Amino acid sequence: MFRSRSGRLTLVPLDQPQEFTDALWSRLRREAQEAYAAAPMLAPLFFDSILNQPNFEAAVFHRIAARLKNDVISLPLIVRAFHRAQTADPGVGEALKADISAVFERDPACERLIEPFLYFKGFHAIQAHRLNHWLWHNQERDFALYLQSRSSEVFQTDIHPAARFGRGLFLDHATGLVVGETAVIEDDVSLLQDVTLGGTGKETGERHPKVRRGAMIGAGAKILGNIEVGENARVAAGSVVLRDVPAHATVAGVPARVVRTATPDEPSRSMDQDLIDLAYASFSWTI
């Protein structure tokens, strides 16, 4: 379940989904008890968010709701909406487990499961979007848009409720992420802060990027238009991407161009952003 990988622990999904969930929940409760012993002044946080909750999914829903609630939308209202979504689509609960596993595996700053669960706004923003997406497609668009606006205030992300997300996503730092209405982010993608998946103007229909499985998008990258970032591709930090990115390629620059054609198989997992081995002349700079 928790296996050493490159000197740190990583989550290993078990064959039985319920066993995996039980192991996550057991680990999280143990960490909450340890955290309470070390910082008893935070008892309401640990008990309300974890120790007094009945199961892992309910605890996540409660924690996200606690961060989003305000004078207009109460915590119980948001929690009930999460449970309605999960009942109608069990994939909502399965996706959040894949997402927290992705954070635990890929973020070198994450040493305990309790950290993304309680504190990391990237994980929280993705779960808020999963609820908003379900509401959007179930005749509750005003609720979805209000929660999206509230999520933007709290987590500093702007994700249209219609955008389609896969599982096992890692949003590092989160601040400044913008995702347009027709964007798609497939399974096992990693994105850093200040990434834009946007349009190029006033076009209608499919007008936003499609990021395929296993890709990694570096900090500050701008990917614009109905273009594709291929499977296991890598977009370097600060790049402006206006054309399709081939699978397994690395692109960099303004505008971005291919600087490597054989990116490691899973850049979203390795999170390798070091381009120092590439010749400076291989970058395309336009003034």
Residue 96's domain is classified under what CATH number?
Answer: 1.10.3130.10
Q: pLDDT tens, 8-63?
A: 445 555 455 788 888 999 999 999 999 999 999 999 999 999 999 999 999 999 99
Long-range contacts of 245-254 (CB under 8 A, 24+ apart): 245/215, 247/212, 250/275, 250/278, 252/278, 252/283, 253/283, 253/284, 253/285, 254/284, 254/285, 254/286
| Mean pLDDT, range 184-202, rounded to an integer | 95
CA-CA distance, 89 to 86, in Å (whole number)?
Answer: 5
Region of poorest pLDDT, from 45-54, 94-103, 158-167, 196-205 = 196-205
What domain range is 50 assigned to? 1-157
CA-CA distance, 18 to 133, in Å (whole number)?
Answer: 25
Residue 21 lies in a domain: yes
What's the pTM value of the predicted model, to 2 decimals? 0.90
Secondary structure letter of residue 212 according to DSSP? P
| Mean pLDDT, range 249-265, rounded to an integer | 89
Residue 55 lies in a domain: yes
Does residue 217 share a domain with residue 89?
no
Does residue 75 share a domain with residue 182?
no
Residue 209's identity, in one-letter code, is P
How many domains does the chain divide into?
2
Does residue 151 share a domain with residue 43?
yes
Residue 163 lies in a domain: no
CA-CA distance, 149 to 51, in Å (whole number)?
Answer: 30
Cα–Cα–Cα angle for 180, 209, 204, nearest 5°? 60
Read off the pLDDT band of 268 (50, 70, 90).
confident
Q: Single out the residue in 128, 157, 186 at which a domain terminates.
A: 157
Check pLDDT > 50 for residue 4: no
Residue 95 lies in a domain: yes
Residue 107 lies in a domain: yes
Nearest Cα neighbor of 183 from 169, 172, 175, 173 is: 169
Residue 71's identity, in one-letter code, is D
Residue 116 lies in a domain: yes
Residue 215: strand, helix, or coil: coil
CATH of the domain at 284: 2.160.10.10
Does residue 255 share a domain with residue 219?
yes
Q: Are the C-beta atoms of residues 3 and 27 closer than 8 Å to each other? A: no
Does residue 149 share a domain with residue 188?
no
**What angle do helix axes 75-88 and 56-68 make, rounded to 10 degrees?**
140
Q: pLDDT tens, 136-177?
A: 999 999 999 999 999 999 999 999 999 999 999 999 999 999
Q: Single out the residue in 157, 192, 222 at which a domain terminates.
A: 157
Q: Single out the residue in 127, 157, 187 at which a domain terminates.
A: 157
Check pLDDT > 60 for residue 6: no
Does residue 127 share a domain with residue 11?
yes
Partners of 158 in the β-ladder: 178
Partners of 184 in the β-ladder: 164, 210
The continuous run of DSSP H or E covering 178 comes out as: strand 178-179
Residue 169 lies in a domain: no
Does residue 142 share a domain with residue 232?
no
Does residue 282 share a domain with residue 146?
no
Does residue 185 share a domain with residue 105?
no
Residue 191 lies in a domain: yes
Does residue 101 share a domain with residue 28?
yes
Task: State residue 266 phi and psi, 5-degree precision.
Answer: -130, 75
3-state helix, strand, coil in the chain (%, to 5): 40, 15, 40
Instruction: Give burial (CB, 10 Å; 0-12/13-18/19+) of 152.
Output: middle
Nearest Cα neighbor of 165 from 202, 125, 116, 107 is: 125
Does residue 125 share a domain with residue 31?
yes
Does residue 136 share a domain with residue 217?
no
Check pLDDT > 90 for residue 279: no
Region of poorest pLDDT, from 122-131, 138-147, 163-172, 194-203 = 194-203
